[in-house]
Amino acid sequence: MLSSSARRGAAVLLSAAVLTTLSACGAAPDQKSGGAGGAKNAVQPGAATSVADFGSLEALAAAAQKEGELNVIALPPDWANYGEIIKAFEAKYKIKVNSENPDASSSDEIAAVKSRKGQNRAPDVLDLGIAFARSGAAENLFAPYKVTAWDKIPAAQKDADGRWTNDYGGYVSIGCDAARIPTCPQTFADLLKPEYKGKVALNGNPTKSGSAFGGVYAAALANKGSFADIQPGIDFFGQLKKSGNFIPVESTPATVEKGETPISIDWDYLNAGYADQFKGKGVDWKVAVPTDGVYAQYYSQAINKDAPHPAAARLWLEFLYGAEGQNLWLKGYARPVLLPGMTQDGTADQAAVAKLPQVQGTPAFPASEELDKAKATLAEKWDKALS
């Protein structure tokens, strides 16, 4: 068990480092990098709140190219097509993207921002779970920036000041291996059927994994719960566990391929990706968004307030929220935040849209307080319901 204890040690050391940085009241070093764009509106890149502050997108691109690099963190190449997005950005703007720790969690991202304040290695942009986007904004860690497409993003999916903006997301879905399961479940109610004994898994522990948390939230909505009341979802999984249907193993591509988790509750973009990945490997992966528990969640994009490459960070956002970036997410089965508008004006990649799992209606999102309450309930009750 050397590896795990070493990892735990590293976590402790890391947190220690974070603490020392926090307690040492170091003054934030000044931003380097000179002015960009025309002389008239020569705003420091770090203070720019929209592309207008640079004059034009070309001026922003020029300023970003002068910086030459972009630090990103926690972007797995096989997640929502991030691998291709990074390559496309590098090719288009000739800016080198330094991708650090692709499998990091949202709290790792926040820790990196805090512990490397003022360093050249600090992440420039962040892709965060919504709870961390909100808490990070409250801690004043992000730079306000409104992308060109700002007005087309629904108000519920962005911070009014532009400190974070939803980028892409998906629905809680039920993936199912049709090669092993005669009839695939379509709803949460279906999952309780005795024929699914020992077959239903989440992709992690909901007190840690965002998608598993979404699964419990969706199950709550399917069982007369609400955004403020997640308890019915916890009870639902308690019931699943009691009936023997639920298996606590975390579903991963490996367990899916092996057939150990023939039914897996996960984001639809990940489940849809598995379908491609396992075609021809004896796994016939079908994806259904349960009609009784529709829950969508979006990740949020934010710029580090002390980004070492402030112009490149802003250019990255403009790229992501342009048609090209949005369609690249779409290609990875994720639903980009601008998708509704792009479907209407015809800029969305129709072939990719057609491949998305079908969903009725528009998604609703919990308010901050509701989310906090649900998390507190979950942290308190989940273990007990499942053990």
Partner 1 sequence: MSSTTDPRAADGTRRRRRGPRTWLATLPLLTFTGLCFGIPLGAMAYGAVTRTDPASGATQATGEHLARSLQGPYLASLVGSVQLSALTALVGGVLGVVIAQAVVTSRSAGLRSATLTASGVLANFGGVPLAFAFIATVGISGVVTQLADLTDLGWNLYSFTGLTVVYLYFLIPLMVLVIAPALDGLRPQWREAAQSSGATGRQFWLHVGLPVLAPSLLGGFVLLFGTAFAAHATAAALVGGSVPLVTLKIADALSGNVLTGQENVALALGLDMILIAGLVMAVYLPLQRRSARWLR
Residues that bind partner 1 (CB under 8 A): 1-5, 7-8, 11-13, 15-16, 18-20, 22-23, 104-108, 129, 131-132, 135, 138-140, 198-199, 202, 204-210, 213, 241, 247-250, 254-255, 258-260, 262, 375, 378-380, 382-384, 386-387
Shortest Å, Cβ 300 to partner 1 = 12
* Residue 42 vs 379, nearer CB to partner 1: 379
Shortest Å, Cβ 136 to partner 1 = 9
Shortest Å, Cβ 112 to partner 1 = 11
* Residue 25 vs 351, nearer CB to partner 1: 25
* Residue 54 vs 267, nearer CB to partner 1: 267
Name the β-bridge partners of 99: 72
* Residue 177 vs 190, nearer CB to partner 1: 177
* Residue 46 vs 129, nearer CB to partner 1: 129
* Residue 5 vs 362, nearer CB to partner 1: 5
Shortest Å, Cβ 13 to partner 1 = 6
Shortest Å, Cβ 211 to partner 1 = 8
* Residue 202 vs 317, nearer CB to partner 1: 202
Shortest Å, Cβ 41 to partner 1 = 32
For residue 314, the 8-state DSSP code is H
* Residue 129 vs 185, nearer CB to partner 1: 129
Q: In terms of Cα–Cα distance, which of 239, 261, 259 is closest to 251?
A: 261
Shortest Å, Cβ 294 to partner 1 = 20
Shortest Å, Cβ 141 to partner 1 = 9
